[in-house]
Amino acid sequence: MTLTQIYGLGHFHAGLTQMWSLAVEVAFYLILPVLAWALCVLVCRRGWHPGRLVGALCAVAAVTPAWVVFTHSADIDYSARLWLPGFLAWFAGGMVLTVAAVTIRRVSTPLLLLGAVAAYALSCTPAAGEATIIPQDAGAAITKSFLYLAFSMCLLAPLVIGSDGGGLYGRALSHPAVVWLGEISYELFLVHLVVMELVMDLLGYSTFQGSVVGVFIVTTVLSIPIAWVLHRSLEWVFGLRDRRQERTSRAASRAIASSSFVGTTSTATEDESAEIRRSP
């Protein structure tokens, strides 16, 4: 609950070990105001300098391999490998995409998706170490981290760069079914590992054994309804759905009012022009 398990203040509960990533994310948001101030004031001098900004973000990303080498060579607790510095490159990559979104006009979606496939395929090879988020070898850990970064950036870049929203790829991700899955994705993230452990016990599989496809399908089928119930329950408890609908209704009302104003103004302008033309 305190998101301090990665600092030795607690333990990783069975079925919730994936929550280490949330602890890292919270740590990043805590330092984000300071990081943003440094980038905007110290690096960019309160101006728009995308080159400087990207260069500084690359320096931020360089903290990750340095931290990996340090935690793999120093006599320090293993949990330090899960601290924020070991994943700063991922956050820096996301910030680079925000710069690219306003400086690059278009990208090749097929080429980027091919790059994502290649990065993922390479991350499954021995070059990226064993099947864990932090391999024992420092070189393999760095390789895996940056392959994951390349994979995610290649997937996201077509959606945020350019005016077509990723074309067919973007439209596919905008399908109502995909959007619905996105709405319950956090709850799915929370429950899927508990469900997967139960599924593997029922099927008699040990870790990294058995049918990956079979476990994935059964886990997904069971996790989705659980995640949906949890999502709706939270909406009911906190009234999130009503507030969201209210915001949507207000936005629609403003859009209608704006269009009515534009239409009225256009009509009035046309009437004035006609009156002027009739005047001697």
pLDDT at 107 (0 to 100): 93
Angle at 253 between CA 267 and CA 101, to 5 degrees: 95
| Cα 239 to chain centroid, rounded | 25
In this predicted structure, the answer to whether residue 203 has a pLDDT above a threshold of 70 is yes
In this predicted structure, the answer to whether residue 264 has a pLDDT above a threshold of 60 is no
Mean pLDDT of 138-146: 97
pLDDT at 81 (0 to 100): 94
Confidence category of residue 274, pLDDT binned at 50, 70, 90: very low
- The predicted-structure confidence for 205-241, as pLDDT tens digits, reads as follows 887 788 889 999 999 999 999 999 999 998 888 876 6
Q: Is the whole-model pTM more than 0.75?
A: yes
Cβ neighbours, 10 Å, residue 27: 18
* Residue 275, both tokens: 């009156």
| Cα 220 to chain centroid, rounded | 20
- Among the listed residues 25, 1, 67, 17, the one whose alpha carbon sits nearest the alpha carbon of residue 197: 17
Cβ neighbours, 10 Å, residue 22: 16
The whole-chain average pLDDT of the chain stands at 86
Query: Cα(195)–Cα(207) distance, rounded to whole angstroms?
Result: 14
- Tokens 């943003």 appear where? 36
Q: What is the dihedral of CA 72, 77, 79, 85, to 10 degrees?
A: -60
pLDDT at 244 (0 to 100): 60
What single-letter DSSP state applies at residue 190?
H
Beta strands in 104-240, from DSSP E residues, in sequence order: none
Angle at 188 between CA 186 and CA 189, to 5 degrees: 65
* Residue 116, both tokens: 């994502």
Which of 21-35, 225-239, 247-261 is least confident? 247-261
Cβ neighbours, 10 Å, residue 97: 17
In contact, 207 and 171? CB cutoff 8 Å: no
